[in-house]
Amino acid sequence: MRASDLPGALYRALGKDGNPTLSTFSKILKALDLKMIITPAH
């Protein structure tokens, strides 16, 4: 996914009939050059 594809991808993933999976979210983060870090809750 390229950053230029991001608006359409976000609309499809988060829309009424979307499927916001972890895979989709990961691709969006990669297109934005971001990463997700999960830490334990204290």
Q: What is the pLDDT of residues 14-39, one digit of tens each?
A: 778 877 788 878 887 887 888 989 99
CA distance 31 to 39: 23
Question: Which pLDDT belongs to residue 3?
Answer: 60
40 or 11, higher pLDDT? 40
Number of structural domains, the chain? Answer: 1
Q: Kindly state whether residue 5 falls inside one of the protein's structural domains.
A: yes
CA distance 28 to 35: 10
CA distance 19 to 34: 21
Domain residues for 7? 1-36
Kindly state the average pLDDT of the residues 4-9.
70
CB 2 within 8 A of CB 30: no
Question: Which pLDDT belongs to residue 39?
Answer: 95
Kindly state the average pLDDT of the residues 3-21.
74
Q: Kindly state whether residue 41 falls inside one of the protein's structural domains.
A: no
Q: How confident is the model at residue 2 (pLDDT cuts 50, 70, 90)?
A: low
Tally of CB atoms within 10 A around 33: 7
